[in-house]
Amino acid sequence: MAKINFGGVVEDVITRDEFPMEKAREVLKNQTIAVIGYGVQGPGQSLNLRDNGFDVIVGQRKGGKSWDKAVADGWTPGKTLFEIEEAAQRGVIIQYLLSDAGQIETWPKLKPHLTTGKALYFSHGFGITFNEQTHIDPPADVDVILVAPKGSGTSLRRMFIAGKGLNSSYAIYRDATGKAKERCLALGIGVGSGYLFETDFKKEVFSDLTGERGSLMGCIQGIFQAQYDVLRKNGHSPSEAFNETVEELTQSLMPLVAENGMDWMYANCSTTAQRGALDWRHKFYAATLPVFEDLYKSVASGAEARRTIETCSKPDYREKLNEELSQLRDSEMWKAGAAVRKLRPENN
């Protein structure tokens, strides 16, 4: 392990130097990895594992778009692509990458195939942490492990193709074989992690749900919309409002933050921008801190899990989801965004 100082706190992390790909392949030699689900995380993780030389098969319900996508990605029906139950039966390591609602629905069919010595792998702590609601209860004689890439499966794959890695957390819930940790780390390296940091299932899901509802997705959309609306109400054009709200942030400033941090980005902006940002950050912190505290309490209480399970398990969920997403897509702000993206130099 490498000891890294994170803002004064020293953590142990696993990099590709401590756990090289050759070691990962040796740990998982002769162990078929069955990736169950080909939706959000499944494609990126399975393709990266395959390209890294691991023995991988995919389990997916036949006849849908995800099955067709798997075929288009080079998975062969009857050879490397199977129905979920057959893939689970064939796999030694079962990567359970269905949606949380899908995991709940499929669990009774999957569980019988978790025989002694196998490993059950998650990329989200939801099913285990909230097992009183999900009823996901792995047998005592299988390893239960987690590798959670800190980004979408699409990002994981794109970064892999670019020769980069996406940071991931890892956790061991149950070590039934005495080999759970090395299996977990090998899989983490195999799926394309940049480095791995340790957590547990509960902390993973608490931080994940908070982040998704907060600064990663929910909060940022709310802030975008609020600023855009204020600019529009004060007479600014859609193009100007969108560029000052979203385009400049995503295309110009966030790459600078990613490169060297917020202070470096501030230092490379105008003095007027620096002064305003340094002054107003305190007001935004004070305004949003209570919201984040309420959010974390809602996650920790299980309320967010109940909401997710109740809504996502309804038969008309996809239809209702598309309605909600269309409200975003059809809003003036994101229509303006579509027009702005088309005007980027790389699209002309």
Q: Are 45 and 159 in contact (CB under 8 A)?
A: no
| Whole-number pLDDT of residue 347 | 81
Q: Which of 194, 195, 190 is nearest to 55 (CA)?
A: 190
For tokens 């107003």, name the residue. Answer: 280
| Whole-number pLDDT of residue 224 | 97
Are β-strands 143-149 and 119-122 bridged in parallel, bridged antiparallel, or unpaired?
parallel
Q: What is the DSSP letter of 125?
A: S
Tokens matching residue 176: 């039934």
For tokens 């940091």, name the residue. Answer: 197
Rounded to 5 degrees, φ, ψ at 100 are -55, -45
Rounded distance between C-alpha atoms, residue 130 and residue 277, angstroms: 40
Q: Which of 125, 102, 95, 80 is nearest to 191 (CA)?
A: 95
Rounded distance between C-alpha atoms, residue 348 and residue 343, angstroms: 7
The Cβ-side half-sphere exposure at 206, using a 13 Å CA radius, reads 15
Q: Could you tell me if residue 190 is inside a domain?
A: yes
Q: Are 169 and 198 in contact (CB under 8 A)?
A: yes
Q: What is the DSSP letter of 200?
A: -
CATH number at residue 18: 3.40.50.720
- Whether the model pTM is above 0.85: yes
Same domain membership, residue 225 and residue 189:
no
For tokens 């956790």, name the residue. Answer: 171
Question: For the chain, which ranges sit under pLDDT 70?
Answer: 348
Q: Could you tell me if residue 269 is inside a domain?
A: yes
Q: Which residues does 219 contact at the CB level (< 8 Å), separation at least 6? A: 213, 288, 291
Same domain membership, residue 145 and residue 14:
yes
| Whole-number pLDDT of residue 10 | 86
| Whole-number pLDDT of residue 272 | 95
- Look up the domain containing 313 and give its range: 214-347
Number of domains in the chain: 2
- Phi/psi-derived region of residue 138, left when phi > 0, alpha when psi is between -120 and 50, beta in every other case: beta
Helices 201-213, 303-312: axis angle to 10 degrees equals: 70
Q: Could you tell me if residue 204 is inside a domain?
A: no
| Whole-number pLDDT of residue 9 | 85
Same domain membership, residue 171 and residue 237:
no
**Sign of the Cα pseudo-torsion (316, 319, 325, 330, in order):** negative
Which residues are known catalytic residues? 124
Same domain membership, residue 187 and residue 325:
no
CATH number at residue 241: 1.10.1040.10
| Whole-number pLDDT of residue 346 | 81
Can you name the residues that pair with 11 across neighbouring β-strands?
A: 4
Q: Could you tell me if residue 240 is inside a domain?
A: yes
Q: Could you tell me if residue 208 is inside a domain?
A: no
Q: What share of the chain is helix, strand, coil (3-state, %, to 5)?
A: 55, 15, 30
Please give the helix or strand (H or E) that residue 49 lies within, else none. helix 42-51
For tokens 């594992």, name the residue. Answer: 49
Q: Are 157 and 48 in contact (CB under 8 A)?
A: yes
Same domain membership, residue 186 and residue 149:
yes
Same domain membership, residue 37 and residue 93:
yes
The residue type of 105 is E
Q: Which of 199, 233, 263 is the last residue of a domain?
A: 199
Rounded distance between C-alpha atoms, residue 338 and residue 343, angstroms: 9
Same domain membership, residue 173 and residue 51:
yes
Q: How far is CA 122 from the centre of its chain?
A: 11
Q: Could you tell me if residue 207 is inside a domain?
A: no
Q: How buried is residue 223: exposed, middle or buried, by Cβ count under 10 Å (0-12/13-18/19+)?
A: middle
Q: Could you tell me if residue 209 is inside a domain?
A: no
Same domain membership, residue 235 and residue 155:
no
Same domain membership, residue 259 and residue 185:
no
* Whole-angstrom Cα Rg for the chain: 22
Are β-strands 9-15 and 2-6 bridged in parallel, bridged antiparallel, or unpaired?
antiparallel
Same domain membership, residue 66 and residue 195:
yes
